[in-house]
Structure 1
Amino acid sequence: MSDDSPPRAKFWDIEGWGLRWKVTAVLAVPVTVAMVLGGLRVQGELSNAVHFTEAADQIVVVPDIVALEASMGTVTSGYASGTLTKEDRATAESLMNDVAEQARNPELDPAVASSINQTVSDGRALLNLMDSPGVATDLLAERQRAFAADFIREVDDIVRPIEDSEVVDKGYQLTNAWQAQRRLFEQAMGLVIVKDVYASPEGREKARTGNIPTSAVVAAAGAESSLLDVLDRYYPKGDERLQTLRNNINDRNALIDKGLADAARGGVLPILQLRSSLIASRDVYQELTSEAAKDIASTVQVRAAETRSAALRDTAIVLGTLLAALVLALLVSRSLIGPIRRLRYGALKAARRDLPDAIEQIKASDDPRALSFEPVAVHSSEEIGQLARAVDDIHGQALKLAGEQAQLRLQINDMFETLARRSKSLVDQQLGLIENLEFEEKDPKRLESLFRLDHLAARMRRNGENLLILAGTRVRRSQAAPIPLGDVLRAAISEVEDYQRVQMGATPEGALSGTVVTDVVHLLAELVDNSLRASPPDTSVTFSFARAVDGGVLLEIADRGIGIPADDMRAVNERLASGGEVGPETARHMGLFVVSRLAKRHGLTVRLRSTFDTARNPGVTVSIHIPNALIVSQAARQDTGSQRKIPAAPVRTAIPAPAAPAPRKDNPQLPATRNGLPTRTPSTPAPSPAPAGVVATASGTSLPRRQPGASGIAAGAGSSAVAPAAQSRDTVNVRGSGAMPKLPVRRPQAATPESQSETAPAESQPQHAPRSENRIEAPPSSNGDDQSPVRHRYRTNSAKTASFFQSRIDPPPAEATPRPGGGTPIFSDMVSDWLTDPTGTEGAPGVWHSAGDAGWSAAERINETPVEVDPEIGLPKRRPGDRLVPGTVEGAHNTGTLRRVRDPETIRANLSRHQQGVRNGRATRLAERNSIEGDR
């Protein structure tokens, strides 16, 4: 399963939108269109309502304008004809003030209001002109016509923007009635001209001849009659007002004809009658125009109210429709998004939590097929429900496959573990055979080859343990006693082939909990082996130590190799921190997997960093943090009481003296027996040897008590002994008396002598005979017949291998043996004590006796004793102390501490053989089989 996030989608990439955004877009587009269209409709209705309202406020001035124009026509015609009255002028001035006041209406268009004010000013100027004497009639008529034209244009500006058919018809009705009314003014001005003609003698002369200018009157009357025909469309048929106007036209025509005839006979025109007819027609026209203007105003107000109601109605309809659409859209989207959201949650939960948890349970469960899962919470039968069932099927198939894989993995792990254990058992047998060959081999070259085989077999055994760790098997260890940190580190060093290149300084105090010693040794061995292989053969690998802040110990293993690139080192540290997850890199980096698995098992922290900052050969430093919980202090080890005190004098079977002692020779170099042992000639029959560590009493024998460490073996061989009765393994940190570590003589088929928790001061010992290069077998333990076979101490506990490298504090020897050139680090630290027996020598007057006489006799006897063979595996049985030689052998001269220098190659071979034997001789076949049965 990949945790990488997908690339961030662009906002214009619709496919990358989330489901909510897609559903929102699908629903938002039509809803938005509906809202826009509904809003436009409502806005149009509201705009019309506002427009009609404004028009209704503006149309109020139209009736006054029409009345003012008619009044100004009456005043002008009355002034011209001499029939003007004060009431007519007062009415005109009052109407001018009303129109000027309404021109201040803010609802009026500023241009229209300004034009009305200008026209009112022209009307006042016309009235003022009438006050001047001698004003021509033509000038007054012209000014009146201009005044009327301005008012007609202004009324048209007010009515024309109203886009309503009824208002338009009412406007046409008003305009036609107004135009017909203006024809009355033309008729009046024509009558004034006729009157002026008859007022002069020349006019009367023309009247007699019939040449009177009445065309203006006739034309104005004809125009009025035509406009009345137009007005018939706006009024009901046979309207009395229109008929009255027609009758007035006919009456005026008759009066004119009669007056012309009378004027021709010297009579006068009926001016007053004509004026009365014109005024009567004017009143009818004013009624028509006022009615038309009011109809326009009322129509506009009705339309304003209607548009307001329509706007409110459309707004309510649009909002209701939008709300219903939104509710429906939300219901549909919820029915779509809800199941998809539950499906997504269930699928992600199954992929990221349920399935991994179930797989972990499958890995930890004995029956992987017994697991169940929770289905996706979508129970519909439509497409989303079908998809949910498909996800459940995939989940179930994944769990089934994981169970089958886990079952198969368990089977493979079992086979893997069985094969690894069998291989490890075979390697252990191989190590035993190689050890026997090493014991019997005397050729240095062949012995070196056997050492190499021994190392190779040891590495094969460690690889077998790695395979067990890879299979997830946790080896059960019975070790419970704490092991000193120095011993743990030395045991790890002994696991590698090029141990000579490992340098280790002073080790920190404290001990490691016995339950983790084996795994820590294994971990350190893997790291040291890796450092040795990754660094040049002429360089060394160093151990360094420091106390951590939490009280634990920080170990560092530094090499001078080619190093690791920063990215690879970061990846390695991540794998170390992961705790040994099995992956494609596990087979290639088996050591890294084992280290991370062991570190996770015991809470250790392992990190890698560069040793140097140089670009060439930066090296790698491995830091291992051991927590304080795994560290046992010295005081805690003393208070635990788990260490068993070893008896100072273990009982051993006495060795009988030789039946026929050989005569003593003066030559100190005694002849050797068939085993290569020198022949001793005691002066008296050798008594039964005293137990090791017990000083001879008044029996008269010269055999001394054998003290622990008197022969240099116990202190160097190990730091713990095996209790014969309980088969327990308690480690005692025993330090000798030398500054350099002492190395024991390796006894094939025999364990090193048991060490005591408390050492007694060494007493004087007799001189010993020269040592032979052949190995001496010790006599069997006196209590060996009464106890079960004892595990070899080093096969039982790998950490005790470190006792081989344990340092002891001894006083410096009398003479320092020159260190051979080119020796190994371990050889350099131990060669002096290896070649020197720290026990003192003591001369004997007269007949020479030695504490080793019993040993020589015991060696002769043991050499003839047959070796007991284990019938199950066909290999000799090993018993600790069975072939231990009691007592010690000292030099023949009592001239101080004598150091005998041996061949360095022989010493190095002895050292390597002992190290390999101790490391590889950890358990007998019976102990291994018991351990295998216990693990299973």
Structure 2
Amino acid sequence: MNTETPPPNRPWNLEGWGLRWKVAAVLAVPLTVAVVLGGLRVQNEVSQAIEFRNQAKQVADIPEIVDLGTIFGTVSAGYATKTVTNEDIVAMEKAIVAAKAATFNPAFPDDVAEKLRNALVGIEKIRDDVNNGVADPELSAKTAAIRADMTDIVDEIILPIDDAEVLNAHDRLVGVWASQRRLADQVTAALEVLKNPNASLNALYSAAGAERAMIDVLARSYPQSDAQIQELRDRNRARVAIIDGAVGGALPLLELRASMLESVKLYGTLLEESTHTIASTVAEREKETTSAAIRDSLVVLGTLIAATVLGLLVARSLINPIRRLRRGALQVANHDLPDAIDRIKDGDDSGVMEFDPVPVQTTEEIGQLARAVDDIHGQALRLAGEQAHLRLRIGDMFETLARRSKSLVDQQLGLIENLEFEEKDPKRLESLFRLDHLAARMRRNGENLLILSGTRTRRGHSAPVQVGDVVRAAMSEVEDYQRVEVKATPQGAISGAVATDIVHLLAELLDNSLRASPPDSKVTFNFSRAVDGGLLLEITDRGIGIPAAEMAVINDRLASGGEVSPETARHMGLFVASRLAEQHGLTVRMRPTFETARNQGVTVSVHIPHSALVSSMTMGMTGPQGRVDSDGYPVTGEQAVVAEPAVPVTVTVGPGPLTTGPIGLPERTQAAPNGLPQRTPAEPNGLPQRTPAEPNDPPRRTPAMFGVLPQRTPAAPEGLAQPSQSVPSPSPQPSPLAPPAGLPQRTPGASGLPQRTPGATTGLPPVNPEVSTPVRAAPPVESAPAAPAAPTAPAAPAARAESAEPAGSTQHRYRVNSQKTASFFQPRANVEPLRPILHPQETTPIFSGMVSTGIVSDWLTAPAEGEVNKNWTSAADEGWSAAERAITPLVEARTESGLPQRQPGHQLVPGGVDGADKITTAKLRDPEAIREKLSRHQQGIRDGRAASHAERNSI
């Protein structure tokens, strides 16, 4: 899957637009063009309609202007010839009033209105002269100028009209008006002849010829053979004939005047028709353009609506299938396919191959794409199913190999433990302990492989486990457990169903902390109460730390439960921790120990929910504890400061009355010269002796060992130690005399390790009396001088958690021979504790703890299931019975220091091994030489692995 960040979506990047925006753009372009073109056409129509409306308003006053011009010409000519009448003057007054009203027409341009007002001023002046009888010599010139102004006014009103019919009517109007003025010239010339009969008739001829020419021009604006034009021509010819008949004689003025009046009337008719045609045409054009504008607007609007609807339908037919295809593809990619793969991973492949196809049923390109998505979905499911089956087969093989390896390691542990029980040589016993510890770590790796294969380990139901036991068990699973320091541990127990997995989880986290921190630093366990009532456990180291980005990735993996990837093999511990945390609802987080330090370190927090706890978490301070000797009795002396234990514990080792004493750590006797632990002298057969016990009660371990060494718990259904019921312990008995030297004598402190000081805090909680295991009590001895306080030893790791055994198994997997187990951990005779001699060649705490006298590990204890079988017997019960029947030995001799001396074979148990006197002490070996050999061996293994890794990487 491509997880690259997509490039930023810029508005001008058309490829980044959504499908809706692209379709909208495709529809918007033609629609926009149509709207613009239709709008322009509608706007043109509307503007023409408005212009025609204004022009119609202007043309409406043209008849008044034309009438004024006509009557003004008549009055001016009659005033010049003294033939003007009162009717003419009254008609001119009316025409002047109508023309003045036209000057207020808002449709007129300003220049037209101004010219009309000037013309009216001139006409009114001439009217006043006519009314006053004042003769004006420039009357003809003024009249011609006013007529020219009137003609210009009409031209400026009509010529801007862009209409052929209007312009044709304008030409008629102008032609008729010009012909009428030529007729007025004839009247003026005829009046001159009337005044002077001897005057020339040339002016009359010239005016008649001009009229004829204007009639010919006017005829172009009318159809051919128009009756009115033909009548005007006939009238003009008749007047010319009258003038011709008057040559050399008198001019018939009455006949000429009648002909002129007929022509004037005919010209008036033509003028009225022309002005009416112009006004009606302009009004008609105004209505037509308005109707056209409305019609075009409706057409454009309807077309846009239809185009938009059609475009939306097409877009919908395109977008809806693509949307269904997109929704179906995303549903397949984000939900259906992952869910089906998860179901296949979980093993539920029923009906997985059946899926709903993408809901696009067309056969065009989008439908073909939908079928392709369905095919990809089916192929992905098929491939996922095949890979899931292959993964399951590989997982099964992997699980089988891991279980076989784990079984072999379990057998190896059993053999090693048998060797430990039978071994008497301290050095060899130490090596066996180290080998045992290494095998236990191998077993944990086998459990990691089982978790990696996805196998949920079957766990039986067991009793709750103390928090301290869980911590000790986790410590026993790691290599450098000596560096682990446990702070105040809360009292309480963890549910047995999750205790083993919590031990495993803590062991992995602790192993990581130990490996990632300096060898000379401590790794600390801290505890606190959670808000929800659970337990918060923190593992703190002082290593170099983890970068913030990498830590965030690790926290995400811890929170998500972990996925199998190429990085899983490199970070197996974190993978196992995440899987276990997810399985039991735990929360695991990492954070820096120090924010500003150079080596920040890492603190791992593990939150155990309240549901996993079976008792309330109370922080019990594991304060100073009293020291005890090898038999569990307090050590007295000047330097032995004994603190009262937090909780008194009943310590028993079998049937009989219980003895109660403070919890403390065992003191060891003076070590051998080589610093290795020595066994106490035994009977002639060289075996340590037991105290008597009933046949029906197996031996139990003392709880004093909890602060000494990491213990392996019995193989209960949960793989952890189960508490057993306490029984009364017998009264203290005097210890037997020490026999002659047979086997090497084991004494406290012989391992060379520093002993815990009196009252030192172990970091682990005191053992609860309700869950303490019975330990067989040792006989009392006489008081001896107290040994000086030893240095405080580091907190010892706890029991190693074993993986689950089949449900219902109640026997410890390492209990091969109960006689060996009991005899090895039987308390030895109490001797005077001497000051421990510290040698540079130290042994491991496991070895030192196991060889300490009077310490019995609870990982050899059989789990308690119901009531103890009272009919249980073993081959060693006869020896115990014989020991009970033996007479209490008396101290016959003492050493110079006051210690009792034992006689060899004095308390020999019947049935012992003969020939103990032939046993010689094993040759002592140098621990430093052994350590160097093991170091060289380990270094060789590391070099070989590094070379192999480099060779694989170079290929």
TMscore range, shorter length: 0.7 to 0.9
Rounded Cα–Cα distance in structure 1 between residues aligned with 2:768 and 2:234: 160
Match of 1:676 among 673, 683, 686: 686
CA spacing shift, 1:587–1:678, aligned 2, 3 Å? closer
CA spacing shift, 1:774–1:516, aligned 2, 3 Å? farther
Rounded Cα–Cα distance in structure 1 between residues aligned with 2:423 and 2:768: 34
More divergent stretch after superposition (387-396 vs 92-101): 92-101
Rounded Cα–Cα distance in structure 2 between residues aligned with 1:261 and 1:773: 198
Secondary structure at 1:365 match in 2: coil
Cα contact 2:578–2:588 (8 A) shared by 1: yes
1:912 paired to 2:846 = yes
Structure 2 residues not aligned, in runs of 5+? 619-649, 657-678, 747-761, 770-782, 799-812, 863-955
**Could you tell me which residue of structure 2 aligns to residue 757 of structure 1?**
726
Write the letter of the residue equivalent to 2:694: P
Match of 2:818 among 879, 892, 901: 879
1:691 paired to 2:678 = no
Cα contact 2:485–2:795 (8 A) shared by 1: no
**Could you tell me which residue of structure 1 aligns to residue 643 of structure 2?**
none
CA spacing shift, 1:345–1:357, aligned 2, 3 Å? same
Cα contact 1:692–1:707 (8 A) shared by 2: no
Superposed counterparts of 1:468-483, under 5 Å:
468-483=450-465
Superposed counterparts of 1:21-60, under 5 Å:
21-60=21-60
Rounded Cα–Cα distance in structure 2 between residues aligned with 1:448 and 1:671: 20
**Could you tell me which residue of structure 2 aligns to residue 657 of structure 1?**
none
CA spacing shift, 1:443–1:693, aligned 2, 3 Å? closer
**Could you tell me which residue of structure 2 aligns to residue 533 of structure 1?**
515
Rounded Cα–Cα distance in structure 1 between residues aligned with 2:135 and 2:400: 144
1:232 paired to 2:219 = yes
Structure 1 residue 228: Cα displacement: 0.8
Secondary structure at 2:497 match in 1: coil
Cα contact 2:459–2:497 (8 A) shared by 1: yes
The C-alpha deviation readout for 1:32-56, integer Å capped at 9, x for no partner, is 3223223323332333333323322
Rounded Cα–Cα distance in structure 2 between residues aligned with 1:187 and 1:369: 118
Structure 1 residue 87: Cα displacement: 1.2
Bigger fraction of residues in helix: 1
Cα contact 2:112–2:156 (8 A) shared by 1: yes
The C-alpha deviation readout for 1:382-441, integer Å capped at 9, x for no partner, is 222111111111000000000000000000110111111111112222233334455566
Structure 1 residue 757: Cα displacement: 2.7
Structure 1 residue 828: Cα displacement: 13
Rounded Cα–Cα distance in structure 2 between residues aligned with 1:906 and 1:100: 140
Superposed counterparts of 1:297-376, under 5 Å:
297-367=279-349, 370-376=352-358
Cα contact 2:54–2:107 (8 A) shared by 1: yes
**Could you tell me which residue of structure 2 aligns to residue 560 of structure 1?**
542
The C-alpha deviation readout for 1:626-658, integer Å capped at 9, x for no partner, is 11111121699xxxxxxxx9999559xxxxxxx
CA spacing shift, 1:922–1:312, aligned 2, 3 Å? farther
Rounded Cα–Cα distance in structure 1 between residues aligned with 2:48 and 2:702: 127
Cα contact 2:461–2:497 (8 A) shared by 1: yes
1:242 paired to 2:252 = no
1:9 paired to 2:19 = no
1:146 paired to 2:145 = yes
Structure 1 residue 616: Cα displacement: 0.8
Cα contact 2:787–2:833 (8 A) shared by 1: yes
The C-alpha deviation readout for 1:689-712, integer Å capped at 9, x for no partner, is 453999xxxxxxxxxxx9988897
**Could you tell me which residue of structure 1 aligns to residue 382 of structure 2?**
400
More divergent stretch after superposition (24-33 vs 403-412): 24-33
Rounded Cα–Cα distance in structure 1 between residues aligned with 2:785 and 2:695: 28
Cα contact 1:769–1:891 (8 A) shared by 2: no
Write the letter of the residue equivalent to 1:899: P
Cα contact 1:141–1:189 (8 A) shared by 2: no
The C-alpha deviation readout for 1:281-332, integer Å capped at 9, x for no partner, is 2221111011011011112222223333333333333333333333332222
Rounded Cα–Cα distance in structure 1 between residues aligned with 2:75 and 2:111: 28
**Could you tell me which residue of structure 2 aligns to residue 767 of structure 1?**
735
Cα contact 1:576–1:595 (8 A) shared by 2: yes
Structure 1 residue 345: Cα displacement: 1.1
CA spacing shift, 1:5–1:125, aligned 2, 3 Å? farther
Structure 1 residue 507: Cα displacement: 0.5
**Could you tell me which residue of structure 2 aligns to residue 66 of structure 1?**
66
The C-alpha deviation readout for 1:564-591, integer Å capped at 9, x for no partner, is 1111111111111111122332222111
The C-alpha deviation readout for 1:455-501, integer Å capped at 9, x for no partner, is 33222211111111111111112242111111111111121111111
More divergent stretch after superposition (298-307 vs 150-159): 298-307
Rounded Cα–Cα distance in structure 1 between residues aligned with 2:215 and 2:354: 102
Cα contact 1:375–1:392 (8 A) shared by 2: yes
Cα contact 2:541–2:603 (8 A) shared by 1: yes
Secondary structure at 1:516 match in 2: helix
Match of 2:369 among 365, 387, 409: 387
Match of 2:275 among 293, 315, 338: 293
**Could you tell me which residue of structure 2 aligns to residue 843 of structure 1?**
none
Rounded Cα–Cα distance in structure 1 between residues aligned with 2:219 and 2:541: 124
More divergent stretch after superposition (478-487 vs 560-569): 478-487
**Could you tell me which residue of structure 2 aligns to residue 740 of structure 1?**
none
Rounded Cα–Cα distance in structure 2 between residues aligned with 1:58 and 1:333: 53
Rounded Cα–Cα distance in structure 1 between residues aligned with 2:585 and 2:786: 46
Secondary structure at 1:135 match in 2: coil
1:89 paired to 2:89 = yes
Cα contact 1:719–1:731 (8 A) shared by 2: no
Structure 1 residue 91: Cα displacement: 0.7
Rounded Cα–Cα distance in structure 2 between residues aligned with 1:113 and 1:624: 103
Cα contact 2:451–2:576 (8 A) shared by 1: yes
Secondary structure at 2:607 match in 1: strand
Rounded Cα–Cα distance in structure 2 between residues aligned with 1:218 and 1:281: 16
Write the letter of the residue equivalent to 1:426: L
1:431 paired to 2:365 = no
Superposed counterparts of 1:400-479, under 5 Å:
400-438=382-420, 449-479=431-461
Structure 1 residue 880: Cα displacement: 7.4
**Could you tell me which residue of structure 1 aligns to residue 187 of structure 2?**
188
Superposed counterparts of 1:510-521, under 5 Å:
510-521=492-503
Alpha-carbon RMSD across the aligned residues, in angstroms, is: 4.2
Structure 1 residue 101: Cα displacement: 1.2
The C-alpha deviation readout for 1:651-691, integer Å capped at 9, x for no partner, is 9xxxxxxxxxxxxxxxxx998656435899xxxxxxx9453
Cα contact 1:503–1:825 (8 A) shared by 2: yes
Secondary structure at 1:515 match in 2: helix
Write the letter of the residue equivalent to 1:879: S
Cα contact 2:688–2:823 (8 A) shared by 1: no
CA spacing shift, 1:329–1:727, aligned 2, 3 Å? closer
Rounded Cα–Cα distance in structure 2 between residues aligned with 1:14 and 1:44: 36
Cα contact 1:441–1:447 (8 A) shared by 2: yes
Secondary structure at 2:606 match in 1: strand
Secondary structure at 1:503 match in 2: strand
1:605 paired to 2:587 = yes
Cα contact 1:827–1:908 (8 A) shared by 2: no
Number of residue pairs matched by the alignment: 764
**Could you tell me which residue of structure 1 aligns to residue 135 of structure 2?**
135
Structure 1 residue 276: Cα displacement: 4.5
Cα contact 2:358–2:370 (8 A) shared by 1: yes
**Could you tell me which residue of structure 2 aligns to residue 742 of structure 1?**
none
CA spacing shift, 1:715–1:261, aligned 2, 3 Å? closer
Rounded Cα–Cα distance in structure 1 between residues aligned with 2:64 and 2:537: 114
Higher RCO, 1 or 2 (CA under 8 Å, sep at least 6)?
2
Structure 1 residue 64: Cα displacement: 1.5
CA spacing shift, 1:708–1:297, aligned 2, 3 Å? closer
Cα contact 2:528–2:537 (8 A) shared by 1: yes
Rounded Cα–Cα distance in structure 2 between residues aligned with 1:921 and 1:338: 71
Rounded Cα–Cα distance in structure 1 between residues aligned with 2:682 and 2:366: 99
Cα contact 2:45–2:293 (8 A) shared by 1: yes
Secondary structure at 2:605 match in 1: strand
**Could you tell me which residue of structure 2 aligns to residue 100 of structure 1?**
100
